Every structure is written in structure tokens, then in C-alpha cells.
Amino acid sequence: MSTIQLHNGMAMPTLGLGTFRLSPDDCERAVATALECGYRLVDTANVYMNERAVARGIAASGVPREQVVVQTKLWPTCYRRADAAAAIDATLRRLDTDYVDVLLLHQPAGRYLEAWDAMQEAVGAGKVRTLGLSNFDARQLHDVMTHADVQPAVMQLECHPYRQLESAQWLLEGNGIALQAWYPLGHGDARLLADPTIVRIAGHHGRTPAQVVLRWHVQSHRIAVPGSHDPAHIRENLAIGDFELDEYEMDDLARLDRDRAYFRMPGPLRRVAFTMGRPDFDAQP
């Protein structure tokens, strides 16, 4: 498993398992399968309502906790200072662990600087190793960076061959922040995985389109967290360490960029993030 060294020295695996939209049962099975076959990074979030299942999956895998990079995210309804501190403790309880490896702010809504203060305090208390952001734009990133004592080390953004984010990655890397791709496979869009360029390159290497896309992420110095409930896909997605895309193939893949996001907020983020009310994240099996 290749890793990227974060600015705080932490070795972050370049490939992890995403757990968005996995039911608790699927999530538990997927996490156990992934860790058994060699994954060492699992991405979850308070709002996915499957952190307990992630904990069960880690336990079922038999892989020691300290060998797994556990990454989760706080939701905006918990961003007030006191709420965020309590939310971090609740996350640790659900994940059945004393610390999380990476904690992200899920969305740039609400009082995110207050949450950052609570997250920094959690780093000082040994409850969190590394801090990061998700879905923040350049202005919001600047806001956090000028406020922060502990700087973000990771940014999670929607990124795939149809949305390559070259300038965002350039900005992030210039600030010592690793880009982590969510929807790395285009959220499973069959058209993306059937793109003639990707299919041609896959055929040339005797690989699947998904493997080519994930290999492209890793060779582009990004971390990818593909989601899957299918054990065969989970194994397939990890098996990308023994082939390499050449510079012509990388150029061909670069030309697929069309700045196309699959995910669109159904309204202003602030409204969307808060219309759910205050979800009870403990109400999960």
C-alpha cells in the first residue's frame, strides 16, 4: 500500500474504503473485507450513520486498531464550540476508539471556526491525530488557515476524470495539504467507466476501467476513497500497485476533464446542512 506523507509526518494510505450510503450491515462487511485484503484507510462521517458499523468491521477484521487510519467528519449542526467538543467524544464512543486518525469538517457551513478550535483542542488531548476539511473553497480554506494553530493536512473534494481540479490541487499542495478524492469513480457512473479512453487504456493493461481510474488518482498524487459494498470490487480496487500508466496515457486521461460535478447541493449549503434539524447520530445500530 503506497502512502502520502502528510505535513505532520503521518503516512496516509493513497487508497481507502469509502462508506457513504452503506447500510450498517453492508458497511460492517465491507470494512472487514477491505481490511482483510489490505486496505488501511476507512472514511466515514457522523452523518453516514455507520460509525458503529465501521468499528464492528475493524474488530471483525482482526487488524490491530493502530494499523488502521480511521477518518471521520463532523456535521455542521455540531460546529458550535461546546457542541463540537461533545460531538468528537461521541464519535470516539461510536467508533469504539480512544482516537481518530483524521477528523474533517464535512461542510463549510455554520460556525466552522468554532469547530476548528474544538478539533485543535482534541489534537492536544490526543483524541485526534490529523485535521482536515471537506468541500471548502479557496476563500474558506484561507479563513481556516489564518485562524488555525493546527493547520489542515487533508482536503476532501469531489474529484474524478470528469472533474480533475488541477488548480485546486495546485493550491492545496502549495499549502502542504493533500487532496483526497471523493466520488473517485464518478459515484459509479456507468458512462464514466465506459468512457472509450478509459476502456482503451484498461484493455492495454489488461485491467478494469475502475482500476485505471484509481491508478490515475494515485499517480496524480491524490488519495482516493472508492466506496463499494461488493467484495469483488473492494479487492479489485486495491489491486492497482503492479501496473503504471505512462505519460501519454496520463495526458489522454487529463483531456477527459470537463469540470463536471455529479453532486449538486439542492439549494444553498447553509439551508441544506441545517434542514435536517439536529440528527441524532447515536441512533444507529
Ligand X SMILES: NC(=O)c1ccc[n+]([C@@H]2O[C@H](COP(=O)([O-])OP(=O)(O)OC[C@H]3O[C@@H](n4cnc5c(N)ncnc54)[C@H](OP(=O)(O)O)[C@@H]3O)[C@@H](O)[C@H]2O)c1
Which positions touch ligand X (CB under 6 A)? 18-20, 43, 106, 134-135, 156, 182-188, 193, 208, 210, 225-230, 233, 236-237
C-alpha cell belonging to residue 149: 494553530
Which residue, 171 or 248, is less far from ligand X as judged by CB?
Answer: 171
Q: Which is nearer to ligand X, 13 or 124 (CB)?
A: 13
Minimum CB distance to ligand X, residue 124 (Å): 25
**Choice among 48, 79, 112, 183 that is catalytic:** 48
Q: Which is nearer to ligand X, 124 or 203 (CB)?
A: 203
For 99-161, give the DSSP string: -EEEEEE-SS-SSHHHHHHHHHHHHHTTSEEEEEEES--HHHHHHHHHH-SSPP-EEEEE-BT
Distance in Å, CB of 20 to ligand X, minimum: 3
Measured between alpha carbons, how far is 199 from 68 in angstroms, rounded to an integer?
33
| Calpha distance 185→201 (Å, rounded) | 16
As measured in angstroms, the least distance from the Cβ of 227 to ligand X is 2
Question: Do residues 30 and 57 touch, judged by C-beta distance below 8 A?
Answer: yes
Residues 85, 44 contacting (CB under 8 angstroms): no
CB crowding 132-164: b at 16 or more within 10 Å, else e: bbbbbeeebbebbeeeeebebbbbbbbbbbbbb
Whether residue 48 lies in the annotated active site: yes
Give the residue with the Cβ less far from ligand X, 99 or 262.
262
Q: Residues near 241 by Cβ (< 8 Å), separated by ≥ 6?
A: 1, 2
For ligand X, the closer of residues 128 and 133 by Cβ is: 133
161 contacts 213 by C-beta, under 8 angstroms:
yes
CA quadruple 85, 279, 50, 11: dihedral, nearest 10? -40
CB of 263 to ligand X, least distance (A): 6
**Shortest Cβ 212–ligand X spacing (Å):** 10
Q: Kindly state the cell numbers that stand for 212.
A: 485505471
CB of 102 to ligand X, least distance (A): 12
Question: Is the CB of 56 or the CB of 233 nearer to ligand X?
Answer: 233
Whole-angstrom Cα distance, residue 140 to residue 43?
A: 22
Q: Which residues are catalytic?
A: 48
